[in-house]
Amino acid sequence: MKPGVYVHIPFCEQRCYYCAFTVAVAPQRAYEPYVRRLLHEIELSEFRQEPETIFFGGGTPSIINGELIENIIAAFPRGAAEISIEVNPGTLDDEKIERYSSAGVNRISLGAQSFHDEDLKNAGRLHNAVDVLHDIDRLRQRGFRNISIDLIAGLPNQRREVWNKNLDYIERLLPEHISIYMLDVEERSAWGQHRNDVPGDDVFATFYMDAAERLAKAGYIHYEISNWARPGFECRHNLKYWTGVPYRGFGVSAHSFSGSHRYWNTTSLAEYARMLDAGKLPISGQEQLTREMRLEEAFLIGLRRTSGLDIWTVAADLEIEYPQGWFERVCELEDAGWVQFDGKYVRLTTAGCLLANGVTEELLWPNLLLT
């Protein structure tokens, strides 16, 4: 299977209050030197495979000139079936849209986060709901037929009525794909230090169940814990992460995976520049996956997909045996309503998706799984 390529563009107009990613608020003059070094990284890597997918993430990839995006795409062999770019509402213009289209970009991931202006202001977003609607209209007019919308559930003081109005917009706009993320306030974010008004688990659960029910009625397939798609519009790039397919990352903080070996780039823009200027790949760490790590990851990514985890494929790949106590534990989780098990696949229920990490830990017990 062809690999996926991830390209990290770290620049943002400002850091959102909930953000803990590798981003940089930098002047426009920093964009071209960064892309020049990123192209040098691609050259040094000797990556020559034809990628099936290319995904531009960030940061805000749509903040940089469309010609720079064209140049990056041109650095890879042509033929990618899916080229995605994350876009912040309000950062598009007609020239960028035209360049994206001519370069082969065929999937837009629009970071709406909410259609409620008060939510957006509280989260430190610079756009408003009108910007989202305007961008979708322009993209449709220019022929884009694969648009994904990101929403965040559980923003501080977010009310259920507001959340359901967000879902009203989805039902009206009918994007091909929706990603819904439960707000996770990390210590590195601005909110991580002082917010105490984040909704409790019961509110998150209500929002999630509302979304799952309404999106199913609207014809969306719930194919991964946080992702819904109209039939045939599942994100092909992200499916590579969730099925263990190799991928190659370029740019500051980007990760790569060969199938058994993982490595990652420095998170420092200054070090990224120094290493590439010295003719060195900006790799700052790596690890060889042990059998134990492969087992844990098989469960973690397998249970994220609503198609479930094939326990016998895992057993054959890793040469393991499941003790009787493991099957008893599965039955307990099934009785509690967290999983479904048909003798081959273990699947999280909708309620179980809310407790995915805890359920996964339970299923990895006991350690006798590795014999």
Q: What is the pLDDT of residues 103-155, one digit of tens each?
A: 999 999 999 999 998 888 887 778 889 999 999 999 999 999 999 999 998 88
Q: Are residues 10 and 77 in the same domain?
A: yes
% of the chain residues with pLDDT over 90:
77
Q: Are residues 343 and 237 in the same domain?
A: no
pLDDT band, very low/low/confident/very high, at 17 (cuts 50, 70, 90): low
28-59, pLDDT tens digit by residue? 899 999 999 999 999 999 999 999 999 999 88
CATH number at 347 reads 1.10.10.920
Domain membership flag for residue 268: no
How is residue 60 written in tokens?
Answer: 């805000």
The distance of Cα 209 from the centroid of its chain, to the nearest Å, equals 20
Pick from 191-205, 235-249, 269-283: least confident: 191-205
Residue closest to 62 by CA, chosen among 21, 91, 22, 26: 91
Q: What pLDDT is attached to residue 187?
A: 47
Helices and strands: H and E segment counts in the chain: 14, 15
Q: Domain span at residue 305?
A: 291-369
- Please identify, among 211, 241, 271, the residue that sits at the C-terminal boundary of a domain: 241
For tokens 């994350």, the residue is 86
Q: Are residues 83 and 197 in the same domain?
A: yes
Average pLDDT, the chain: 90
319-358, pLDDT tens digit by residue? 888 989 999 999 999 999 999 999 999 999 999 999 999 9
Q: Are residues 189 and 88 in the same domain?
A: yes
**In the predicted structure, residue 247 carries a pLDDT above the cut 90:** yes
CA distances from 299 to 64, 214, 313, 340 (A): 38, 28, 11, 15
Domain membership flag for residue 257: no
Instruction: Kindly report the backbone phi and psi dihedral angles of residue 95, in degrees, each rounded to the nearest multiple of 5, phi listed first.
Output: -65, -45
Q: Are residues 307 and 211 in the same domain?
A: no
Domain membership flag for residue 283: no
Could you say which DSSP state residue 343 is in? Answer: S
Q: Are residues 227 and 297 in the same domain?
A: no
Q: What pLDDT is attached to residue 370?
A: 57
Q: What pLDDT is attached to residue 154?
A: 83
Q: Are residues 83 and 192 in the same domain?
A: yes
Give the C-alpha separation, 96 to 30, whole Å: 18
How is residue 56 written in tokens?
Answer: 């531009």
Q: Are residues 99 and 220 in the same domain?
A: yes
E strand or H helix that includes residue 94: helix 94-103
**In the predicted structure, residue 13 carries a pLDDT above the cut 80:** no
Pick from 18-27, 100-109, 285-294, 330-339: least confident: 18-27
Verify cis geometry, omega within 30 degrees of 0, for the bond prior to 33.
Answer: no
Q: Are residues 143 and 11 in the same domain?
A: yes
Domain membership flag for residue 282: no
- Please identify, among 183, 213, 241, the residue that sits at the C-terminal boundary of a domain: 241
DSSP 12-66: -SS--TT--SS-B---GGGHHHHHHHHHHHHHHHT--S--SEEEEEES-GGGS-H
Asked whether the CA dihedral 243, 244, 248, 254 is positive or negative, the reply is positive
Do the beta carbons of residue 107 and residue 148 sit within 8 Å? yes
Name the domain count of the chain: 2
Q: What pLDDT is attached to residue 262?
A: 96
Domain membership flag for residue 34: yes
CATH number at 219 reads 3.80.30.20
Q: Are residues 200 and 307 in the same domain?
A: no
Residue closest to 369 by CA, chosen among 303, 301, 320: 320
Do the beta carbons of residue 135 and residue 90 sit within 8 Å? yes
Q: What pLDDT is attached to residue 21?
A: 58
Q: Are residues 108 and 188 in the same domain?
A: yes
DSSP 193-241: GT------HHHHHHHHHHHHHHHHHTT-EEEETTEEE-TT-S-HHHHHH
Residue closest to 158 by CA, chosen among 213, 131, 195: 195
Q: What pLDDT is attached to residue 259?
A: 87
Residues 301-334 as b/e (b if ≥16 CB within 10 A, e otherwise) read: bbbbbbebbebeebeeeeebebeeebeebbeebe
Q: What is the pTM of this model?
A: 0.92
Give the C-alpha separation, 366 to 328, whole Å: 11
Identify which has the larger pLDDT, 157 or 22.
157
Residues 217-235 as b/e (b if ≥16 CB within 10 A, e otherwise) read: eeebbbbbbbbbbbeebbb
Domain membership flag for residue 273: no
How is residue 47 written in tokens?
Answer: 């990556």
**In the predicted structure, residue 164 carries a pLDDT above the cut 70:** yes
Strand partners, 205: none
E strand or H helix that includes residue 136: helix 129-141
Q: Are residues 19 and 107 in the same domain?
A: yes
- Please identify, among 223, 241, 259, the residue that sits at the C-terminal boundary of a domain: 241
Do the beta carbons of residue 291 and residue 310 sit within 8 Å? no
**In the predicted structure, residue 192 carries a pLDDT above the cut 60:** no
Domain membership flag for residue 266: no
Domain membership flag for residue 95: yes
Do the beta carbons of residue 256 and residue 264 sit within 8 Å? yes
